[in-house]
């Protein structure tokens, strides 16, 4: 059984027991979160239910494992022959979750 869910502007194909890094959500550590933007659900027997835009009554229950920041991405801008250089760094915050249950 798997589901396709939408969170943080991205889509993920998940099944029970998967560990994901999603965009940061406001939830306590070791708490459960219900993700209700489920776009599609498969029951494992070849039947696929596709929502319009979401599947009614479907949700994914997940447990929050950790919060953190990803590796640094260096942004370097320059213009040749103009003595313009700008160096920036960015670390995107994330939430690590464990998929516990898919309810359709």
Contact between residue 78 and residue 5 where contact means Cβ atoms under 8 Å apart: no
pTM reported for the whole predicted model: 0.84
Q: Quote the CA–CA distance of 1 and 15 in Å, as a whole number.
A: 6
Nearest to 72, CA basis, from 56, 53, 55, 87: 87
| Residue-wise pLDDT tens digits, 73-102 | 999 999 999 999 999 999 999 999 999 999
- Which pLDDT does position 75 carry in this prediction? 97
| Residue-wise pLDDT tens digits, 5-46 | 999 999 999 999 999 999 999 999 999 999 999 999 998 788
Please report, for the chain, the start and end positions of each structural domain, with discontinuous segments joined by +: 2-103
Q: Quote the CA–CA distance of 55 and 52 in Å, as a whole number.
A: 7
- Which pLDDT does position 46 carry in this prediction? 84
Nearest to 90, CA basis, from 68, 67, 72, 70: 72
């Amino acid at each position: 059984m798997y589901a396709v869910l939408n969170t943080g502007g991205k889509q993920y194909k998940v099944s029970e027991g998967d560990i994901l890094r999603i965009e940061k959500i406001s939830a306590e550590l070791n708490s459960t979160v219900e993700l209700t933007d489920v776009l599609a659900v498969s029951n494992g027997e070849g039947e696929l239910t596709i929502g319009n835009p979401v599947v009614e009554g479907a949700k994914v229950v997940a447990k929050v494992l950790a919060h953190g920041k990803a590796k640094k991405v260096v942004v370097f801008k320059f213009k040749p022959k103009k003595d313009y250089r700008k160096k920036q760094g960015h670390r995107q915050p994330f939430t690590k979750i464990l998929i516990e249950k898919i309810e359709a």
